[in-house]
C-alpha cells in the first residue's frame, strides 16, 4: 500500500516535516540515509550537517547552547515519538513519472507514496586535503555562523578560504571574534566572484589580511592542540609560507544533495531545487515538495530549514486533501486554517 508521504532526508527540515506530518495523521516515513563509510567521507551521514558540528548556540530554545548531534537526536526521537516510521537507508532511485511515486532504497526495497518531501540538504565543499579532514571540528569548519563564536577562535588568527560571497560574508563575520582573518583566494582581488560591495567591505576591514593568488597546501597542527596554522602556496611562483591560525573556514560553495533525483525535479543552475511559488514548498513536480538547504541557496540555517520542513508538511497535507489522493475514508489532519 502506498504511503501518504515519504520524507527523504533527516536534518532539521526532514524531522520537522515528519513531526507535523505525523500529527496530521499522515503516518510519514522518513528515509534518513545510510550509516556508511562512504557517507561519512562525503559528509552525508543521517542527521544532516548539524550532526557534524559541535556546539549550537543559535537554535532558539537552548540558552546555554546544545551539541549539534544531541539536537538532531532529539528531533529524531520527537518525530519517532509522534509516530514516524524511519528507514536507515539511502535513496538510490526515484520514479516521479508514475502515481503513486516510487522510491527505491539501497536495500533494494521500492516504496510507493502519494506525496514526497525532499529534505536531503547540501554538503559543504571542502578542499580535499587529508590534513583538512584530520582537523575537522578541531579548527577546520565550513560554517562560520555555526562555529565562529566558539572559544577556540576568539582573539586568534583565522583563515577563510574562497573568493565568493560566502567567503566575504564569513570572513567579515569572523572579524568580530578573531584577532585577524587571512582571506585566502587563489586568484586576484579583481577576479573575486563575490559582488563588488562584499569585496569592498571585506578588503576595507582592518582585521583582514588578503592572501591573493594563494591556496592552502596543508593544514598544520597536532592531536593535543588541534589546528595551529596553514601552509599556503603562491600559485604563480610556487613559493610556500606558513600562517599561524586557530581555525580555517572553508567557503568554497555547497553542493545540494540531489543526485538521486536524476533530473526529474527542476533545479537552478547551482543545483538547488526550484520552488515554484514564493513562500511555499512546491516543486516542478506536482505532489513533490522540498525543504531545507536542498532548496535554499541563501539562508542555509538549521532554523530556516526547520521552518521550511514545517511548511512542506503543511503543503503536502493540504495537497493530499485537495487532490483526493488519499483512499476514501482515510483520516487526515486539519492543521491548515489558511485559505
Ligand atoms: P561561489 O560563488 O561558488 O564561490 C566559491 C568560491 O570558492 C570561488 O571564489 C571559487 O574560486 C572558490 N573555490 C571553489 N573551489 C575551490 C577550491 N577547490 N579551492 C579554492 N577555492 C575554491 O560560492 P559561495 O560564495 O558559497 O556563493 C554561492 C551563492 O550564494 C552565490 O550565488 C552567492 O552570491 C550567494 N551568496 C550570497 C550571499 C549574500 O548575498 N549575502 C552570501 C553568501 C552566498 P574561483 O573564483 O577561482 O572559481
What is the number of the ligand 1 atom nearest to the C-alpha of 167? 25
Indicate if 259 and 245 belong to the same structural domain.
Answer: no
pLDDT at residue 332, as a whole number: 45
Question: Looking at the predicted structure, is the pLDDT value of residue 339 above 60?
Answer: no
Nearest CA to ligand 1 atom 11: 163
Indicate if 66 and 141 belong to the same structural domain.
Answer: no
Asked if the structure places residue 177 within a domain, the reply is yes
Task: Report DSSP letters for 128-150, one per residue.
Answer: --HHHHHTBTTTEES-HHHHTTS
Nearest CA to ligand 1 atom 2: 164
Q: Is 82 a catalytic residue?
A: no
Indicate if 39 and 89 belong to the same structural domain.
Answer: yes
State the cell numbers at 205: 576591514
Q: Is 310 a catalytic residue?
A: no
- Selecting among 82, 93, 130, 147, the annotated active-site residue is 147
User: 0.95 cut: is pTM over it?
Assistant: no
Q: How many domains does the chain fold into?
A: 2
pLDDT at residue 335, as a whole number: 44
- The tens digit of pLDDT for each residue in 43-89 reads 788 999 888 767 788 899 999 999 989 999 999 999 999 999 999 99
Q: How far apart are CA 56 and CA 30, in angstroms?
A: 24
CA of 193 relative to ligand 1 center, distance in Å: 7
Residue 172: domain span: 130-250
pLDDT tier at 3, thresholds 50, 70, 90: very high
Asked if the structure places residue 334 within a domain, the reply is no
- The tens digit of pLDDT for each residue in 300-335 reads 889 999 999 999 999 999 999 998 555 544 444 444
Asked if the structure places residue 332 within a domain, the reply is no
Q: What 3-state DSSP class applies to 13? A: helix
Asked if the structure places residue 115 within a domain, the reply is yes
Residue 209: beta bridge partners? 182
- Torsion (CA) 134, 137, 140, 145 in degrees, nearest 10: 160
pLDDT at residue 284, as a whole number: 98
Indicate if 258 and 176 belong to the same structural domain.
Answer: no
Q: 189, 224, 250 — which closes off a domain?
A: 250
Indicate if 136 and 188 belong to the same structural domain.
Answer: yes
Q: 216, 250, 284 — which closes off a domain?
A: 250
CA of 194 relative to ligand 1 center, distance in Å: 7
pLDDT at residue 145, as a whole number: 79
What is the number of the ligand 1 atom nearest to the C-alpha of 163? 9
Q: Any idea what the CATH number is for the domain that residue 163 is in?
A: 3.50.50.60
State the cell numbers at 316: 503536502
pLDDT at residue 328, as a whole number: 40
- The tens digit of pLDDT for each residue in 99-113 reads 999 999 999 999 999
Indicate if 221 and 176 belong to the same structural domain.
Answer: yes
Q: Is 222 a catalytic residue?
A: no
Name the residue with higher pLDDT: 52 or 191.
Answer: 191
- Selecting among 146, 293, 296, 310, the annotated active-site residue is 146
Indicate if 7 and 115 belong to the same structural domain.
Answer: yes
Indicate if 279 and 240 belong to the same structural domain.
Answer: no
Return mean pLDDT, the chain: 92
pLDDT at residue 326, as a whole number: 59
Indicate if 243 and 134 belong to the same structural domain.
Answer: yes
What is the number of the ligand 1 atom nearest to the C-alpha of 192? 46
Indicate if 259 and 194 belong to the same structural domain.
Answer: no
Contact between 228 and 221 (Cβ < 8 Å): yes
- The tens digit of pLDDT for each residue in 207-254 reads 999 999 999 999 999 999 999 999 999 999 999 999 999 999 999 988
pLDDT tier at 259, thresholds 50, 70, 90: very high
Strands 29-31 and 85-87 come out as parallel
Indicate if 72 and 142 belong to the same structural domain.
Answer: no
Check pocket membership of 65 for ligand 1, CB cut-off 6 A.
no
Q: 250, 270, 299 — which closes off a domain?
A: 250
Task: Report DSSP letters for 188-209, one per residue.
Answer: -GGG--S-HHHHHHHHH-TTEE
CB under 8 Å to 276, separation ≥6 — which residues?
282, 283, 284
pLDDT tier at 38, thresholds 50, 70, 90: confident
CA of 254 relative to ligand 1 center, distance in Å: 9
Question: Looking at the predicted structure, is the pLDDT value of residue 336 above 70?
Answer: no
Amino acid at each position: 500500500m502506498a504511503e501518504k508521504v515519504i520524507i527523504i532526508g533527516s536534518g532539521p527540515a526532514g524531522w520537522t516535516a515528519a513531526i507535523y506530518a505525523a500529527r496530521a495523521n499522515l503516518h510519514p516515513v522518513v528515509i534518513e540515509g545510510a550509516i556508511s563509510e562512504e557517507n561519512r567521507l562525503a559528509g552525508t551521514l543521517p542527521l544532516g550537517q548539524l550532526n557534524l558540528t559541535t556546539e549550537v548556540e543559535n537554535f532558539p530554545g537552548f540558552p546555554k547552547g546544545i551539541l549539534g548531534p544531541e539536537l538532531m537526536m532529539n528531533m529524531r526521537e520527537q518525530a519517532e515519538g509522534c509516530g514516524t516510521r524511519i528507514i536507515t537507508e539511502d535513496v538510490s532511485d526515484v520514479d516521479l513519472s508514475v502515481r503513486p511515486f516510487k522510491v527505491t532504497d539501497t536495500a533494494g526495497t521500492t516504496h510507493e507514496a502519494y506525496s514526497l518531501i525532499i529534505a536531503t540538504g547540501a554538503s559543504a565543499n571542502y578542499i580535499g586535503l587529508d590534513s583538512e579532514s584530520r582537523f575537522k571540528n578541531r579548527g577546520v569548519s565550513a560554517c562560520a555562523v555555526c562555529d565562529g563564536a566558539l572559544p577556540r577562535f576568539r582573539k586568534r588568527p583565522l583563515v577563510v578560504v574562497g573568493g565568493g560571497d560566502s567567503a566575504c560574508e564569513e570572513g567579515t563575520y569572523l572579524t568580530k571574534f578573531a584577532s585577524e582573518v587571512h582571506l585566502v583566494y587563489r586568484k586576484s582581488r579583481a577576479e573575486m566572484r563575490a559582488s563588488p560591495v562584499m569585496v569592498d567591505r571585506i578588503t576595507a576591514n582592518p582585521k583582514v589580511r588578503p592572501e591573493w593568488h594563494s591556496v592552502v597546501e596543508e593544514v598544520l597542527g597536532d592531536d593535543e592542540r588541534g589546528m595551529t596554522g596553514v601552509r599556503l602556496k603562491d600559485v604563480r611562483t610556487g613559493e610556500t609560507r606558513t600562517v599561524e591560525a586557530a581555525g580555517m573556514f572553508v567557503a568554497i560553495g555547497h553542493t545540494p544533495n540531489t543526485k538521486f533525483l536524476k533530473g526529474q525535479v527542476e533545479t537552478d543552475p547551482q543545483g538547488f531545487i526550484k520552488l515554484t511559488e514564493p513562500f511555499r514548498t512546491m516543486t516542478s513536480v506536482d505532489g513533490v515538495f522540498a525543504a531545507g538547504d536542498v532548496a535554499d541557496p541563501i539562508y542555509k540555517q538549521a532554523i530556516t530549514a526547520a521552518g521550511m520542513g514545517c511548511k512542506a508538511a503543511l503543503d503536502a497535507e493540504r495537497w493530499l486533501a485537495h487532490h483526493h489522493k488519499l483512499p476514501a475514508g482515510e483520516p487526515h489532519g486539519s492543521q491548515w486554517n489558511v485559505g
